[in-house]
Amino acid sequence: MIQDTEASFLDQIRRHYRDSSGDPPFVPGRTPILPSGAVLDEDDRMALVEAAMNLRIAAGRTARKFESAFAKVVGCGRAHLTNSGSSANLLAISALTSPQLGERRLRPGDEVITAATGFPTTVNPILQNGLVPVFVDVDLETYNATPDRIEAAIGPRTRAIILAHTLGNPFQVAEVAELARKHDMWLIEDNCDAVGSLYRGRPTGSFGELSTASFYPAHHITMGEGGCVAVSNPKLARIVESFRDWGRDCWCEPGEDNRCLKRFDYQLGTLPLGYDHKYTFSHVGYNLKSTDLQAALGLTQLAKLPAFGEARRRNWRYLREGLADLDEFMMLPVPTPDSDPSWFGFLLTLRPESGLQRRDLLNFLEARRIGTRQLFGGNLTRHPAYADQKFRVSGELTNSDIITTQTFWLGVYPGITQQMADYMIESLHEFVQEHLRAPATVALRS
């Protein structure tokens, strides 16, 4: 009887979705063109409703199922679901400070190389763990740090590298991984903007000892909020799980007891023999778990990842072809050689000699309801948050400064239609034409 009632209710929800779904027609200048956003369908809605009806409100069976499926997509042995991509980065860095890693553990004052241009949550966990960021500049075509810049930044206390695949465009991750091995350093891939991207035929996120992902609505798939740490080394995987789950030594699932079959037989630290293993802590950890509600949505989204990736690639190519004739005014993005990016956005950098002003262009586009974003924080060393923080800069940050003043990006996410892309292309051409006409108008007035 209860099952029949649930099935009837789910059918009503499904019919309601079908009756109310469907986007209104696109109206240039009136319909917002978002730079990013979630693409959700009937399956996503039904997964969330069913999980809610069954009150799967903590991390459980569905979370474990998602972790297993995501690990296979990334090409790693294990994946640990967490509450955000930012938390995933915090867990990845924190795991490398574990005493269980012996001489390879990161200690306060050790250096971690990262790119100066990006999002702060790639950098903040370095500082939050008492480590020292070493900032390097990026390439102006791919917007990624390069192996030569990274190698030049290595000092006596440099122990790790954490880099993001910028807007889905892989950095030369195989070469950087080899460099890390050569110098006995850890490599963390911030894969939050690049899930589904490939480098030399391998998924990004599978090259470093650890990689992270984000499932915020702007990203390739969404849980609303959520993130993941992917790792192949079983010891590291166990450490990540401990840091995520309060720092506990026990590995039982929530609600589970005595998986190890010796719950009251351990003697750890200075605790008495037999102290309950469920309440024994080996790390100063956090509670950064996610829920089955989020994982239920993640599973339906994950099934659509290949289609989402193809839509992103198609939209990116369409913009690249449509804007090719504006190359003398703005630098067009270039995929890293040997890569197949699942693009997060379409980056453009106004050439200084063009005379175009980014502020004017962004105001022009936003007035037409075309959403834009800058390359996150640009040169992070220029932000007030880091004014009193200890860090080191390797070389000049010339390109990072250019990005801070000249760069922005447009959306390519699967919700972008060809009509929207045509309007973006048309609008950029119109702005450039207005700029070219401006000198003649001034001369006429004088």
Q: What is the dihedral sign for C-alpha 395, 398, 399, 401?
A: positive
> Of these residues, 165, 219, 220, 277, which one is catalytic?
219
Sequential DSSP letters for 72-131? HHHT-SEEEEES-HHHHHHHHHHHTT-GGGGGGS--TT-EEEEESBS-HHHHHHHHHTT-
Whether 219 is catalytic is yes
- The whole-angstrom separation of Cα 97 and Cα 104 is 9
| Residue-wise DSSP of 223-238 | -SS-EEEEE--HHHHH
418/319 Cα distance (integer angstroms) = 10
DSSP characters for 236-262? HHHHHHHHHBTTBS--PPTT---TTS-
How do 339-340 and 198-199 pair as beta strands? antiparallel
In this structure, what are the phi and psi dihedrals at residue 208, rounded to the nearest 5 degrees?
-80, 170
Structure tokens at 176: 């950087």
> 441 is written with which tokens?
């108008």
- Tell me the backbone φ, ψ of residue 248, rounded to 5 degrees: -70, 155
**In contact, 311 and 414? CB cutoff 8 Å:** yes
Q: Which residues are catalytic?
A: 219
